[in-house]
């Protein structure tokens, strides 16, 4: 594009709300290049979306006529980004691929014979589009043919659609949105511009998500039972209390994520089922006067929401399937569907059955969702003091695996004798690991027996600390994820925008007010 794509973050609450609204409309797809161009002026982008949304979805025009008109505007103005998104919708609306070849003819259509591949109405709309776009003024002959085939309302809607997408195409071509200028229909972007796409998540970064995963499933993500057998009874009791505390904190964090939006259903279900189990366990332990019926209702609500939300998300809008069929496709036990049906439509299941089902559901969610969220080479934690007694005050940092070995190898090398080389490495580590870099350098210095390495670690520690302070004070960015193809009914992306993996350390920043 001729100007940089907009970084969709704003400290202005009104602008942040607009950005959030546009992102929610796109969800689960990321923001499009057109969005990132328009969001240089959020108020303009907001008005643009409202207006075009009405033109696209609130008129009485059938899909084939609307998308044919838009596609022809794209051809006349050589707006291939517009063509890329709307030509597939014309085909989906019933226009044949062969007919779309006629639409691509660059010669004025009033100079060529009518194609048998297009109906009278379709041809009349295309010729009308041609004259409106190329000449602005429309001949009486062309207008009379259109008026004879359509009502006054339809004539206004056709005219408005053509005018609107002439506006869109001129915006796209003038700024070269999507890097399509000078290419053609179905061709690759002109340049290899590497552009990012934004996916909005309720968690700050991947490390926060992984910490929640570890809190919900400590048995699956921490040391094995053979290692914990060596601790004392008191330490075991403390460990159990700590894990329970972590689970409650994870539930609270997921509750916050739900308020922010875009929280995956599996994460919400994990929190709800875990909350029901904790309420049941703690209520029984301290003798709360919570009736058995209320406990059954709590379990039933969490379990039903888990099953219903999961299966509804797999439902096809055109061809409805039974819950049992959907469950079979996903590998969800049929007993889960039966229990959900009983909890929803019949007397509540027994407490013992609900307790068992909740725990089985958490196991199924782990295997279906959480186990696939790999730590991606991050160590579980690096703590300054990992003892049970100091667990509440320990400082934790999530860093790439092998970070300590990398630091130790550099500090042991001759290169580390050069102060400039140490400064370069310090900047590199802070860029890669963020605030955790300081903990890694300190850890290496504390554990080494080599006095030279210890001295260099102390020297580098000061440089890293300064850089970390600058990192904390500097402006952060919203979480950015590179995405591939984007496909939906409204806009179909052929995945050829030159998306590339972002290099360097990305500093997340919440957008707007959660």
pLDDT band at 38 (very low <50, low <70, confident <90, very high): very high
The answer, yes or no, to whether the previous bond of 29 is cis (omega within 30 of 0) is no
**Rounded to a whole number, what is the largest CA-CA distance in the chain?**
95
Query: 83-104, pLDDT tens digit by residue?
Result: 988 999 999 999 999 999 999 9
* Coil vs helix vs strand at 58: coil
List the Cα angle 284/297/370 in 5-degree steps: 85
The string of DSSP codes covering 442-476 is HHHHHH---HHHHHHHHHHHHHHHHHHHHHHHSPP
Query: What pLDDT sits at residue 271?
Result: 95
- Are 483 and 199 in contact by the 8 Å Cβ rule? The answer is yes
The string of DSSP codes covering 175-234 is HTGGG-TT--TTPPPSS----------SSSSHHHHHHHHHHH-HHHHS--HHHHTTS-HH
Between CA 457 and CA 438 the distance in angstroms is 10
pLDDT band at 393 (very low <50, low <70, confident <90, very high): very low
Between CA 207 and CA 381 the distance in angstroms is 10
Query: 130-147, pLDDT tens digit by residue?
Result: 999 999 999 999 999 999
Query: With the C-alpha atoms ordered 116, 117, 123, 127, is the resulting torsion angle positive or negative?
Result: negative
- Are 340 and 308 in contact by the 8 Å Cβ rule? The answer is yes
Query: What pLDDT sits at residue 417?
Result: 84
What does pTM read for this prediction? Answer: 0.43
Query: What pLDDT sits at residue 465?
Result: 79
Q: Is the pLDDT of residue 430 over 60?
A: yes
pLDDT band at 250 (very low <50, low <70, confident <90, very high): very high
Between CA 464 and CA 433 the distance in angstroms is 11
What is the residue-averaged pLDDT of the chain?
Answer: 80
Query: 254-299, pLDDT tens digit by residue?
Result: 999 998 888 999 999 999 999 999 988 877 665 555 678 888 999 9
pLDDT band at 326 (very low <50, low <70, confident <90, very high): confident
- Which phi and psi angles does 440 have, rounded to 5°? -65, -45
Query: Which letter, b or e, does each residue of 424-449 get, where b requires 16 or more Cβ atoms within 10 Å of its Cβ?
Result: ebbeebbeebbbbbbbbbbbbbeebe
Query: What pLDDT sits at residue 317?
Result: 58
- Are 469 and 478 in contact by the 8 Å Cβ rule? The answer is no
Query: Which letter, b or e, does each residue of 325-363 get, where b requires 16 or more Cβ atoms within 10 Å of its Cβ?
Result: ebbeeeebeeebbebbeebeeeebbeeebbbebbebbbe
Q: What is the DSSP letter of 348?
A: P
Q: How many CA atoms lie within 13 A of 21 on its CB side?
A: 15
In order of their start, the domains of the chain are 13-175 (1.20.1290.10), 206-219+234-372 (no CATH), 403-470 (no CATH)
Q: Is the pLDDT of residue 119 over 90?
A: yes
pLDDT band at 494 (very low <50, low <70, confident <90, very high): very low
């Amino acid at each position: 594009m001729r100007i940089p794509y907009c970084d969709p973050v704003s400290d202005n609450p009104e602008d942040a709300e607009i950005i959030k609204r546009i992102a929610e409309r796109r969800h689960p797809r990321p923001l499009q290049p057109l969005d990132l161009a328009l969001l240089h002026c959020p108020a303009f982008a907001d008005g643009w979306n409202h207006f075009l949304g009405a033109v696209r979805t609130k008129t009485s025009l059938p899909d084939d006529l609307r998308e044919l008109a838009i596609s022809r505007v794209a051809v006349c103005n050589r707006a291939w980004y517009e063509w890329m998104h709307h030509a597939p919708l014309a085909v989906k609306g019933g226009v044949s691929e062969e007919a779309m070849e006629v639409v691509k003819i660059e010669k004025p259509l009033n100079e060529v014979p009518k194609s048998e591949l297009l109906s009278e109405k379709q041809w009349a709309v295309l010729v009308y589009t041609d004259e409106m776009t190329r000449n602005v003024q429309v001949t009486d002959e062309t207008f009379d043919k259109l008026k004879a085939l359509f009502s006054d309302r339809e004539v206004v809607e056709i005219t408005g659609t053509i005018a609107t997408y002439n506006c869109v195409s001129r915006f796209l071509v003038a700024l070269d949105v999507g890097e399509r200028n000078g290419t053609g229909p179905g061709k690759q972007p002109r340049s290899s511009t590497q552009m990012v796409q934004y996916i909005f998540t309720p968690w700050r970064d991947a490390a926060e998500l992984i910490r929640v995963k570890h809190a919900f499933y400590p048995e699956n993500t921490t040391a094995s039972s053979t290692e914990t057998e060596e601790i004392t009874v008191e330490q075991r009791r403390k460990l159990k209390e700590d894990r329970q505390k972590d689970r409650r904190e994870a539930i609270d964090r997921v509750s916050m994520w739900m308020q922010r939006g875009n929280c995956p259903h599996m994460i919400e279900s994990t929190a709800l089922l875990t909350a029901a189990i904790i309420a049941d366990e703690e209520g029984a332990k301290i003798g709360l006067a919570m009736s058995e019926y209320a406990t059954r209702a709590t379990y039933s609500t969490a379990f039903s929401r888990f099953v219903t939300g999961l299966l509804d998300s797999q439902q096809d809008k055109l061809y409805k399937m039974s819950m049992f069929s959907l469950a079979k496709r996903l590998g969800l036990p049929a007993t889960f569907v039966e229990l959900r049906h009983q909890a929803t439509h019949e007397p509540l299941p027994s407490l013992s059955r609900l307790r068992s089902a909740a725990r089985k559901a958490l196991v199924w969610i782990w295997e279906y969702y959480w186990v696939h969220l790999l730590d991606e080479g991050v160590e579980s934690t690096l703590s300054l003091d990992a003892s049970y007694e100091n667990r509440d005050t320990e400082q934790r940092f999530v860093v790439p695996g092998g970070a300590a070995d990398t630091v130790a190898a550099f500090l042991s090398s001759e290169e580390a004798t050069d102060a400039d080389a140490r400064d370069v490495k310090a900047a590199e580590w802070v860029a890669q690991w963020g605030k955790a870099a300081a903990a890694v350098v300190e850890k290496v210095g504390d554990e080494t027996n080599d006095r030279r390495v210890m001295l260099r670690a102390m020297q580098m520690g000061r440089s890293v600390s300064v850089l970390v302070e600058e990192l904390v004070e500097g402006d952060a960015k919203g979480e950015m994820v590179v995405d591939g193809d984007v496909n939906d009914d409204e806009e179909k992306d052929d995945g050829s925008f030159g998306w590339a993996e972002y290099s360097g350390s990305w500093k997340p920043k919440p957008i707007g007010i959660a």
